[in-house]
A and B are shown apart, each in its own frame.
Chain A
Amino acid sequence: MLCQKCNAKQATVHFVKVINGEKTEMHLCEKCAPSVNHNFPTIDIFDISVSDIMSSLFSGAIAAPKVECSVCKTTFDSFSKTGKLGCSDCYDAFGEQLKNPLKRIHGGIQHIGKTPKRAGDGVDKITKLKKQLEGAISTEDFEKAAALRDEIRGLEGGDVV
């Protein structure tokens, strides 16, 4: 299909607009598309602010509404409004609620990259143990896996079950 505007290039951008059941279509090449874009609503017309995006990202996660960080007293509710955490410990306090939104933002939820030298020993050990844990699970050695899991939790400062 050729571009409806320049009639020269292949149409690669396709707009379909349905208003009150009336359907309008436009087929354009990528060069012409931006110039006629204004006929079709795009996201910037709706003037979405960063805090709106943040709150929509994080508000879906409020299953337990009264979560509070024990160190800085920031509540998850206030965080989901501002998009700003209060201290490093908030990451532990809101751990479960943060996982999904973080995954949506970054795609991953496990840090890969530089680690501080001082925290290095503990961190390296955790990474090593996590590898061993994966190994234990894949060989179905669940007794060993449970022990490794507890050791990792202990190092990460969580409760050992």
Chain B
Amino acid sequence: MKWYIESGKDGDVVISSRVRLARNIKGFPFANVLKDQDCKDVLLKCKEAAMPLGLKYLSMESMPVIKRQLLVERHIISPEMLSDTTKRAVLLSDDEQISIMLNEEDHIRIQCMTAGLDLAKALELANKVDDVLEETIDYGFSPQYGYTTCCPTNTGTGLRASCMLHLPALTASGYIDTLLGAVGKLGITVRGVYGEGTRAKGNMYQISNQITLGMSEEESLKRLEELVVMVVAKERNMRNTVKTESGEKLVDMVWRSYGIAANARILTSDEAYKLISDVRLGINLGIIKDIPIETINELTVVTGPAHISDLCDDNTAENRDRLRAKIVRDKLILISN
């Protein structure tokens, strides 16, 4: 089972945890000003250094456009990797838990993901990868500024840790906006996972640390985790409040959404995100009992626009919406018939 289908610790709210380490190779200019030949040298150096890890090397240039977008949708690569593809590549483990973006903003961006709330395991994995690369690569490092990065917002530990959270009750109650404003002061940011702007599609939010200089990896992780645990508690409280105050309406909403999801013949990605969010909430509150949460985790990923396009022979908007509805229906139909 791929890691993103599994449900981990606090999986009713926390979908996944991720740790990213930014590194640069000593003696080379940063990726944004790197000449063609240097780009090739960086790619080759990293490819060779990563050999012991047994990762697949995927050149961005030779990858079909739709596969690139698919990797973005699965959060394996950043949208920035879609441009300047000739100089970029990604190293990826078979289970997709470990990826290394090459020549993104920094030469090396190690990324490790885990299901549920498990930042410590993600960091442990990332550190192992980092140690292997460091065997043969000399990193740019300054005793004062730590691991040097292209953007000074990352220098120091180069660590960006984040958790993906499903917050339907905090969103519906409007409390999310207060929360979003409050966490900024703690050196932590919250943003929607899907789509631009503040309105998160499918009630999915990403919470991540901002401070990388003057704070150790462990301390950053601890602070982020404390905040995530607090948000998880608030979301659960709010879910319970909604359940007590308007239980019947909530049950009605969940089953309506399930009904549409399990029967619709045309589903846009926006509508699918919303319906899947409602069904996810229904399962986590025990309203829907016969659908495993893993099915919903899988649907959240495979109904994204790039995943659907990849499967669509005749790739038009109508065909994509038809295919999306069929995939959702096939997964959810089990209990309705």
Contacts and interface: CB of A to CB of B under 8 A. Distances in A.
A119 B139 contact: yes
A86 B29 contact: yes
A106 B212 contact: yes
Contacts of A84: 30, 32, 105, 150-151
B229 to A, nearest CB: 20
Interface in A102-126: 102, 105-119, 122-123, 126
A31 B28 contact: no
Of the candidates B127, B140, B146, the one having the most CB atoms from chain A within 10 angstroms of its own CB is B146
A7 interface: no
Given A111-B145, A112-B216, A127-B143, A85 B150 contact: yes
A37 interface: yes
B52 to A, nearest CB: 16
Contacts of B214: 106-112
Interface stretch (A16-24, A87-95, A132-140, A143-151): A87-95
Contact of B156 (A88, A111, A118, A122): A111
Contact of A86 (B30, B152, B173, B198): B30
B213 A109 contact: yes
A52 interface: no
Contacts of B33: 72, 74, 86-87
A140 B174 CA distance: 57
B198 A111 contact: no
B244 interface: no
B217 A113 contact: yes
Interface residues of A, number: 46
Given A34-B174, A107-B187, A85 B146 contact: no
B21 to A, nearest CB: 9
A85 B141 CA distance: 14
B148 A113 contact: no
B144 interface: yes
Interface string B121-157: 0000001001100100011111111111111110111
17 contacts: A30-B178, A31-B174, A83-B152, A85-B150, A86-B29, A87-B29, A87-B33, A105-B210, A110-B214, A112-B216, A113-B156, A113-B159, A114-B127, A114-B147, A114-B157, A119-B139, A122-B143
Minimum-distance CB pairs A-B, first 6: A108-B214, A111-B146, A88-B140, A34-B177, A106-B213, A113-B216
Interface of B: 24, 26, 28-30, 32-33, 105, 127, 130-131, 134, 138-153, 155-157, 159, 173-178, 187, 198, 210-219
